[in-house]
Structure formats: C-alpha cells, structure tokens
Amino acid sequence: MNFLGVDHSLSGRRWIGPDAARERAADAICQETGLDRAIGMILARQGVAPHEAEAYLSPALRDLLPDPRKLKDMDIAAQRLVRAAIRKERIAVFADYDVDGGTSAALLSDWFGFFGLRPTLYVPDRIDEGYGPNVPAMTELGAVHDLIICVDCGTLSHDAIAAGAPADVIVLDHHLGGETLPDALAVVNPNRQDEDGELAHLCAAAVVFLSLVEANRHLRARGDKTPDLLTSLDLVALATVADVAPLIGVNRAFVRQGLTVMARRTRPGLVALSDVARLEAAPSPYHLGYVLGPRINAGGRVGAADLGARLLSTQDVHEAAALAQRLDSLNDERREIEAQVREAAMAQLEALSTDAPLAWAAGDGWHPGVVGIVASRVKEATHRPSIVIGFDGDVGKGSGRSITGVDLGAAIQTLAAEGLLLKGGGHRMAAGLTVTRDKLDDAMARLSDLLERQGSGQRGVEDLTLDGLIMAPAATGDLIRSIERAGPFGSGSPNPRFAVPDVTVAHARPVGDGHLKLTLKDAGGTSLDAIAFSAAASPMGVTLSSGSGERFHVVGHIEINHWQGRERVQLRLEDAARSNS
C-alpha cells in the first residue's frame, strides 16, 4: 500500500513504507532491547535480529575484521612488503588519481615511514596517461626501484605490469578482474574471478589496510616493532565512503572508527582540508563523501593528479595548508566545468525514451575529469545506468554510473573483450572506458542490449522507500543521536528516510547555489527547519514556495545542522506531496 496514500508525489514518485514483516521485526527488536521505534525500523531494514542489535550498534573492528589470509596472494604480498621495509629497498607506489588511490598511497607512505622509508609516489595524469599503469611509466619506475606497489589499479594491466621488470610488482586493488591476471608477484584483489566474493565490498584502501595488518603479523612473528595501523583508519573511512563502498560488515567498523580518528585532527592534510572547507563539526559520512572527497578528487580531475595523495601523506602543516588551498580552488574550477558539460549532456538526453535501458551522451572537448560526475547527475535525473564521454579527436574517454541491480562494470568489460572499446573496466556501480569515434554508436547499442538483459529500463521512475513516519515535535536532537547509533549510513545502508505529515510552508527562500530553505509548521504550531538541495527552481520547489497555506506531507532525512557554533534540527527534504487531509 502507498505510504500516506501518496502514489504520485511532487517529483512523480510513489511512496512505499515498511511492509508488515518489517513492522513485526521492528516490534520484536524494540520489545527485546527497549530501543526507540525509529532505530528498530532501521535495524529491521538491515536484517538485524534482536540478539544482534547491540553488536550492530557498536561495530568493533576486532570482531568484524576478516582474516587477511582469506585473500589470495596475501601472504606473498605481506612478506614482500616486510622484506622491502627491513632491507630499506627502493619502493614506488603507483596510485590511481581518485580518493581511493590517494588514501591507499598515504596508507603505504605512513607504514613505510615508520621504517624511515619514503616511497616514490607516481600518479598518472588523467588526460595524458589515462587510468592505471602504463608501459612507459612502469618501465621508468622498474629501472630504478626494487618494488612497485600498484594501488586501486593494475588488475587488468598485463603489458604495463610486465614492463615493471626487473622490479617486483604487487597489485593491491578491488576492481573487477579478468579471466587472466597480470604477471605480478602478487595480485591481492577481492574481485579476482577466483575469489569467493565474500570481501567484494572492500575498497582498495581497505585491501591495502588488510595487507598491512598481515605484514604487521609477520613483523611481530620476527619480534619486530610494528606501526600503529589504527591511527590510519581515517584514510580507510574516507576511501570507503568516497568510493561508495557498501557500508556492511567490516566497512561499518572502518567508517565508524575512522571518523573517531579523524575527529582527533592529527593528520595535517585532513585538518587543513577540513578548515579550508569550513567544517564546523566533527566529520560525518556526508562530509567524507560530499565535502572532503570532491576536493581531494579535484587534483586528479582538473589539476595535478598527485595533489590528493600528497595532501594525505604529508606531515608538514605548511605544505598541507598550501595543498588544501590549491585543491579547494581546483574544486571550484571543477564545478564550473562540470556545469557546462552537464548542461550539454542533458540537452542531448531530452529525447531519451522512458524505457531506454541506458542514458548516454558524448561531446567534443568535454573534460575527462568531470565526465564521471556528470554521469552521476545523469543517472540521478534519468534513473538508469548512464555513460558520459568526452572526445579529443577520434578517441573518447568516458565514465559510467549504474543503478542498484545492474552490473555496469561487467557489461563494460564484455564490450572491451569484444573489441568495441579500446579499453574498459570497473565494478558494479561505476566503470570507465575508452572508445574510438567510429565504434561509438555500435558500442552504446551493444551496451544498451547487455543492460536491458539485466532489467534496466523496465522500472521507470523509482519508488521512494520510507522507513516510517515522524511527527514534527518528535524530530529532536536526542532522536537524531539515537538514530546515528545505527549508522554510519551510505551505500548498502541508506540514510533513514522519514515522512513528516500534514505541514504548511511558513517560509521559503532560495539560498546558495539553487537550494531552497524552508520553515515548516504542523497543525499544533511546531516549527521544523528544512532544506531542499538544488530544488529552488524545480517543480517541487516552486510548488512548495507558492503553497500559501496548503498542507503537504514531506519526506527526508532528519539531521543536526551546525552553523556558526549553533545546532538546529533540520529536515534534508527530498520529496513532498499534497496532503489529502
């Protein structure tokens, strides 16, 4: 049954509430534990049994950390890391240019730094070199280093890995593997085809962390002192959220405990970046994904590719401040470029069929550093997998984002194997590709066919799933802090979404870059602040702004807004519907 009777909201969606089975599961949790009903509904959604509730609310790394040796090649990789550290070898880290790559590089920099070593950092230029190891760079590194560690890349780079000889090469990655592996000393990757998939949800930084856990175990067996890896959990948390890894299993502990480490403000790079971004409160998953992450990524998108990794690795507060300022400026530049490409891409998609399994757009001169972000925006607007490609001459570099239940990475890998792409790969929710202009249409037609077989294009506008109802007077700071115990929230554990029924819009005004700030009031006169991001000019925003006494049901996430040292409860408004009452 539609929740609150809403089958067509102001954004055109049907509201779906918890079913009877989840209601019963929530009742059982609350009866056995005494937890608030809202928390019970969240735990029931995640499939948590009553006897598991307390452990779920307090995820401990010692209980959830998997044995690193479950991953193939782990023992080989760990022993080689130890040998390099003990023998003071010449080490190079080849890292991807995104947050996951930068944090992975910083983890290794921290660990080797304990032994007085400073690895060479190499991050490829997105435009000139593209993603992953390349033959010229690996040849150069291999000639002057004993060990090359490829992080967040390398699983599909057969020729480039071979070019790293005579140095040993270790790959620590999480991207989908092919039928064969490169000829590296070790390839540690939970998404190798010969893995069981139990740890497929880990990002690359988590794989690096597990590798260092195993390396520490080898060191302790020798009687040696070991680096304190717990102080590096801030990096693992940042990568897990920024790379949209599902917040399940050990990932929850990584993020929960990593946020605690980050709140201590001991890493100069993250302190400087938080200050330049004007963070006024302890970091949350939202800040990792939408405030810090984009700034770290900005270097790889429109500036120097290694800026993010250098920021996260430095122990010099002055260098950190300069790098953070540079990344913040580059992020502003990235936003301007993104807006231009997004407008052009959406114009191409105006005639897109409502049942098309794929939304794609391509253009000359579109900056390859923003096509992934634009693909995300296209996906959000069209509710289907999306590809955005920027051409430079006859070669286009593109990025894709998928929807739940559709494996885009596997489909892209199929196209590459069939010769329709120069190269391509990724994982379920995101992928990258390189294609020639003459094969563009055939490649997108084939991709559409593969995605249609997975059910894409058959769903239309997605229903909006709700976790329940909260009356305006119940939306308090205490309730929010209680709900946060069931977090962290993100991919795989969505931020709980509640309906606040039967309110009027007492005040509405546009703020910032197209956002809408509102004051809502219920029938009893209780006020609730709300903000709807990027909605001021949307049909929903226009309707709410001109409501003039009309009553609405509203839906969103309740949160505590920190502003100029003050805290206020607000609803991050996502949708609304006219009330029938």
Pair 81, 108 in one domain: yes
Sign of the CA dihedral with 258 first, then 133, 334, and 320 last: positive
- Mean per-residue pLDDT, 490-504: 93
76 by DSSP, 3-state: which? helix
Sole residue written with tokens 């010692």: 62
Query: Which pLDDT value is given to residue 459?
Result: 59
| CATH code, 472 | 2.40.50.460
Is the pLDDT at 547 greater than 90? The verdict is no
Pair 201, 138 in one domain: yes
79 phi/psi in degrees, rounded to 5 = -65, -35
Most confident of 376-380, 440-444, 542-546: 440-444
Check: CB of residue 435 under 8 Å from CB of residue 422: yes
Pair 447, 414 in one domain: yes
* Non-local CB neighbours of 210 within 8 Å, separated by 6+ positions: 65, 66, 68, 71, 74, 188, 202
CA 82 from centre of chain: 31
- Two tokens at 36? 């608030």
Task: Calculate ∠ Cα 23-28-34, nearest 5°.
Answer: 115
Name the DSSP letter for residue 472: G
- H or E stretch including 204? helix 204-222
H helices of 349-426, in order, are 371-382, 408-417
Is 147 contained in some domain? yes
Is 21 contained in some domain? no
Check: CB of residue 206 under 8 Å from CB of residue 74: no
356 by DSSP, 3-state: which? coil
Pair 477, 544 in one domain: yes
Pair 126, 176 in one domain: yes
Name the DSSP letter for residue 526: -
pLDDT band at 343; cut points 50, 70, 90:
very high
Pair 135, 233 in one domain: yes
| CATH code, 88 | 3.90.1640.30
Pair 504, 399 in one domain: no
126 phi/psi in degrees, rounded to 5 = -60, -40
Is 267 contained in some domain? yes
Distance CA 154, CA 160 (A): 8
- Mean per-residue pLDDT, 293-321: 95
Is 192 contained in some domain? yes
Task: Calculate ∠ Cα 47-53-54, nearest 5°.
Answer: 155
Is 57 contained in some domain? no
* Residues 543-546: contacts with CB under 8 Å, at least 24 apart: 543/10, 543/576, 544/10, 544/505, 544/508, 544/516, 544/518, 544/576, 545/505, 545/508, 545/516
pLDDT tens-digit series, residues 140-190: 999 999 999 999 999 999 999 999 999 999 999 999 898 999 999 999 999
Pair 389, 307 in one domain: no
Distance CA 164, CA 88 (A): 19
3-state secondary structure string, 407-442?
CHHHHHHHHHHCCCCCEEEECCCEEEEEEEHHHHHH
- Mean per-residue pLDDT, 550-554: 95
- Mean per-residue pLDDT, 128-138: 93
Could you give the angle at which helices 204-222 and 74-86 cross, rounded to 10 degrees?
60
Q: What is the mean pLDDT of the chain?
A: 94
Is the pLDDT at 349 greater than 70? The verdict is yes
Domain final residue, candidates 422, 453, 484: 453
- Mean per-residue pLDDT, 107-132: 94
Closest CA relative to residue 554, chosen from 538, 533, 532, 576: 576
Pair 442, 368 in one domain: yes
Q: Give the bridge partners for 556, in sequence order.
A: 498, 573
Is 86 contained in some domain? yes
383 vs 341, residue with greater confidence: 341
Domain final residue, candidates 299, 329, 359: 329
Is the pLDDT at 90 greater than 80? The verdict is yes
Pair 148, 96 in one domain: yes
Residues of the domain holding 397:
341-453
Query: Which pLDDT value is given to residue 136?
Result: 98
Is the pLDDT at 504 greater than 50? The verdict is yes
pLDDT tens-digit series, residues 202-261: 999 999 999 999 999 999 999 999 999 999 999 999 999 999 899 999 999 999 999 999
Q: Structurally, how many domains does the chain consist of?
A: 3
436 vs 491, residue with greater confidence: 436
Domain final residue, candidates 453, 488, 523: 453
Is the pLDDT at 581 greater than 60? The verdict is no
**In 376-525, beta strands by DSSP E:** 386-392, 395-401, 423-426, 430-436, 464-465, 468-469, 498-511, 515-522
Is 49 contained in some domain? no
Cβ-count burial of 219 within 10 angstroms (0-12 exposed, 13-18 middle, 19+ buried)?
Answer: buried
Helices and strands (H, E) in the chain, number of each type? 21, 18
Weakest-pLDDT range from 325-329, 364-368, 512-516:
512-516
Is the pLDDT at 460 greater than 70? The verdict is no
Task: Calculate ∠ Cα 477-480-482, nearest 5°.
Answer: 110
Pair 247, 164 in one domain: yes
Pair 427, 500 in one domain: no
Is 23 contained in some domain? no
Distance CA 240, CA 244 (A): 6
Query: Which pLDDT value is given to residue 544?
Result: 94
| CATH code, 420 | 3.10.310.30
